Amino acid sequence: MAINYICRHCHTVLGRIESADVTEMQLGFHSLTPAERRDIIAYDLSGEVTVRVTCDYCNEAIKSNPELSLLSSPLQ
């Protein structure tokens, strides 16, 4: 099972974990609410997991310009 981390705004690949031994507890997924899990984590049919987070660049841009968070794709 591979776990891909991508930025939810600019779609930059931030990292990939390729290990069948990593658990949701180790990744911190257990602390998410069901709504957060649906928003952040996507599973595909091949068993890969995509985790949508915000990269540092987009985080800084949104902090500097909070109105960007109102747009569906603020940095595209």
Residue 63: Cβ-neighbour burial (10 angstroms; 0-12, 13-18, 19+): exposed
Distance CA 9, CA 61 (A): 11
Q: Mean pLDDT, the chain, as a whole number?
A: 89
Question: What pLDDT was estimated at residue 75?
Answer: 62
pLDDT(76) > 70: no
3-class SS of residue 5: strand
pLDDT digits (tens, 9 = 90+) for 23-51: 889 999 999 999 999 999 999 998 899 99
Domain ranges of the chain: 2-70
| Contact present, 4 and 48 (Cβ < 8 Å) | yes
Would you say residue 20 has pLDDT above 90?
Answer: no
Total-model pTM = 0.82
Place of tokens 């602390």: 31
The fraction of the chain above a pLDDT of 90, given in percent, is 58
